Structures are given as structure tokens and as C-alpha cells.
Amino acid sequence: MQPNELTSLQKEIIAVVGRYPGQFTRSSLSKMLVGAKSWKDKSYPEYRLYPGFGRKEMDYQIEILIQQSFLALDNQLCLIPAGGVGG
């Protein structure tokens, strides 16, 4: 997959991870973006950015980006930009 083949959702996920490297696990990023009731910190401007998406769909999109090497996991299993060093 080439960067120009990414959906707007995928591009936004990458951008959010770039703004907060090493701050979210896959699950916590999904919860924050879809506005899950279990997500407590509503101070992020990206909170509930995609309220129409389910957690499973968001998890799937994040997993695709990891598999395609657009995102990576740091040693704490938090998301970082691919090739970057997070938190």
C-alpha cells in the first residue's frame, strides 16, 4: 500500500499518532477516536473524532497501518510513527 492509497481515516490515525507518539496503545487510540464511554480523558481535540465507527473497525484500521509499516509499536506496546521513537 502506498501513502496515496490511504483513506482519510487512515491518514488521520497516522497524524494523531504523530502528534502523540508513544501515548496510546492500539486499544486506547481506538477508544479515544470513537469516543468510547470507557475513555475518561476527553481533553484531546481528537476525542470522538469518528463517533460513527465501532471499536472493532477502528482496531482493524490501526492494525492495517501497523502491518503496512505506517505505524509501529514501541517497547511499551504504544503506537509510534514508523521509524520514529516514541514517548
pLDDT for 4: 84
Q: What CATH architecture applies to the domain 8-81?
A: Orthogonal Bundle (1.10)
Kindly state the helix (H) or strand (E) to which residue 18 belongs, with its residue range. Answer: helix 8-19
Q: What pTM was computed for the model?
A: 0.89
pLDDT in single tens digits along all 87 residues of the chain: 777 899 999 999 999 999 999 999 999 999 999 999 999 999 999 999 999 999 999 999 999 999 999 999 999 999 999 974 444
pLDDT for 87: 40
What is the residue whose three cell numbers read 475518561?
A: 40
